[in-house]
Amino acid sequence: MDDIIRKSTEGDAASFGLLVKAHQGYAFALAFRMLADEDEARDVVQESFIRVWKSIRRYDPSQKFTTWLYAIVSRVCLDTLRSRSRSNRLFHRGFDGSFDDGPRDSSDPEKTYSNRELAQLISQLSEDLTPTQRLVFTLRDLQECTIAEVSAITGLSEGSIKTNLSYARRRIRNVLASQYDISGSGS
Amino acid sequence: MNCEEAIRLIHLDADGETSAPEGEALRAHLLSCEGCANEARLVRQTARTMHRLRTSMPVLTQPEDLVKSILAGISGNTPRRSRSGSIMEAFFNLSARPGFRLAYAAVVLAFVSLFMLQQADTFRSVEALGEKLAQAQRPTTPDVQYSITIEDARDIIGSSELEPLIEGTPVSVSSERISVRKSDLASLAPSLGSRLASRLLASSDTPVERLPHLIVDIQQSLTSSLTLRPGGKDR
């Protein structure tokens, strides 16, 4: 991988193509989980890799490439979310209040969601989250990054990450309580 | 077991971190406490949902097309060469060097001085232009007053005829002299008569060659011959 990155910095488009192939799935997962929209996620991935190409000479090899890539994808996602918010379409595929299938079916915990089901669920869970809360939650709880990695990607302090994460988790818990008609003890 | 302890164990249990005796005690509590039972359901449901979200990787369809789009997007562009980033970053890096601020101040001062000099030139140019315009608006030749003494005038046309002749005309009369403006002389020439007109004309200091239009006008106006005396003065 180091060789592919080095050749990419020298302007080798073929090597860069290999770099894209190796990482586009992870970049797409992050973008999709942030935006809950397949088309927008594809656009974000495309824009992010073009930015990677333009600034790849600034990449510091002592840093994990995925951390650097996630930082770029995250910025493009935040721009997209804010743009979406400005155009008053924050939840343009907003949740309609019920799942078609999948999420209600709890008999098989290993059942995975389709893209459409995932988009519905993520839209519902992160409906009231700010873009930053959504980003921190996605990176920490879905992409399973460490707090230190989230800090490196977002530039936020650990304290800020924990505060945003706590709010996001509480909100998601309340959404699920409402969805499943559960009145918890509020711990 | 009280509810506080039960809540703590509910969260541990969701992570599979309770011992067998703790699990037994928790289950017993949940059977008798509806609030804690609801909390346990919610924690389990949240954990299940998060697990599914984590394990359900969004599927990227047609990945090859996305690679092609990206490669098309970068074609014609090469990675930027500067490691220091933008022009502004380069400027701020440079500004940290010793002597840069002094040199920068000198350059700014030079530009300000140059600007002020240019402004001064502009002001001078405007002033000169104003003067030229004022000159252009002034008559190219002053409206000369021609005058002769009343005594000379009476000699020419007779004392009794002078007063009726000039009455009601632009000819002004003082105690000693009669005067007429150059611009009026041509039109007055026929009524004043050739001799008086020529005498008035000859009173000007203006050289004859500078009065071509007036001479032509007078020549056209007078039927009799008119004797012009260049540069002469009547007194």
User: How much is the average pLDDT of A103-116?
Assistant: 64
**Amino acid of residue A162:** K
On whether the CB atoms of residues A146 and A152 are closer than 8 A, the answer is: no
Q: What's the pLDDT at B230?
A: 45
State mean pLDDT over B194-214. Answer: 65
Q: What is the pLDDT of residue B86?
A: 55
Task: Note the pLDDT of residue B221.
Answer: 58
pLDDT classification of B231: cutoffs 50, 70, 90:
very low
Q: In whole numbers, what is the pLDDT of chain B averaged over residues?
A: 76
The confidence score (pLDDT) of residue B25 equals 93
Mean pLDDT of B201-208: 63
Most confident of A12-26, B35-49, B183-197: A12-26
Could you identify the residue written with the tokens 């002034």?
B138
Q: What is the ipTM of this complex?
A: 0.78
Q: CA of B126, closest CA in chain A: separation in Å?
A: 52
Dist. CA B170–CA B187, nearest whole Å: 10
Residues of A in contact with B83 (CB under 8 A): 57-58
DSSP A58: G
CB atoms within 10 A of CB A65: 19
**Is A155 near chain B, with CB under 8 Å?**
no
User: B198: closest CA among B177, B224, B160?
Assistant: B224
Compute the nearest-CA separation of A122 from chain B (Å).
Answer: 8
Provide the pLDDT for residue A161: 93
Tokens of B190: 């026929």
The CB-based long-range contact list for A36-39 (8 Å cut-off, 24+ gap) reads A36/A93, A36/A118, A36/A119, A36/A120, A36/A122, A36/A123, A36/A126, A37/A92, A37/A93, A37/A119, A38/A115, A38/A119, A38/B58, A38/B61
Predicted confidence band at B104 (pLDDT cuts at 50, 70, 90)?
Answer: confident
User: Which of B22-26, B85-89, B202-206 has the highest mean predicted lDDT (pLDDT)?
Assistant: B22-26
What is the reported pLDDT for B180? 83
Q: Mean pLDDT: which of A24-38, A104-118, B66-80 is highest?
A: A24-38
Domain boundaries, chain A: 1-88, 108-187
Domain A1-88 coded CATH 1.10.1740.10:
yes
Chain A residue with the nearest C-alpha to that of B86 = A55
**Average pLDDT in the B6-16 region?**
84
Residue with the bigger pLDDT between B230 and B99: it is: B99
The architecture of the domain spanning A108-187 is Orthogonal Bundle (1.10)
**Whole-angstrom Cα distance, residue A89 to residue A87?**
6
A164 pLDDT more than 70:
yes
**Would you state the pLDDT for residue A177?**
86
Please tell me the distance from the alpha carbon of residue B176 to that of residue B234, in angstroms, as a whole number: 14
Q: What is the pLDDT of residue B222?
A: 56
pLDDT value at residue B37: 92
A71-85, B50-64, B80-94, B197-211: the lowest-pLDDT one: B80-94
Instruction: Please choose, from the candidates A126, A175, A47, the residue with its C-alpha nearest in 3D space to the C-alpha of residue B66.
Output: A47
pLDDT of residue A140: 93
Asked if residues B179 and B210 have their Cβ atoms less than 8 Å apart, the reply is: no
Give the pLDDT score at A94.
Answer: 47
Same CATH fold assignment for domains A1-88 and A108-187: no
Contact between A20 and B52 using a beta-carbon 8 Å cutoff? no
Q: Tell me what the mean pLDDT of segment B162-180 comes to.
A: 80
Residues 6-25 of A with CB under 8 A from B: 8-9, 11, 13, 16-17, 20-21, 24-25
Split at pLDDT 50, 70, 90, the class of A22 is very high
Is the model more confident about A185 or about A128? A128
- Share the mean pLDDT of chain A: 84
Percent of chain B with pLDDT over 90: 11
Q: Could you say which of B35, B43, B66 has the minimum Cβ distance to residue A24?
A: B66
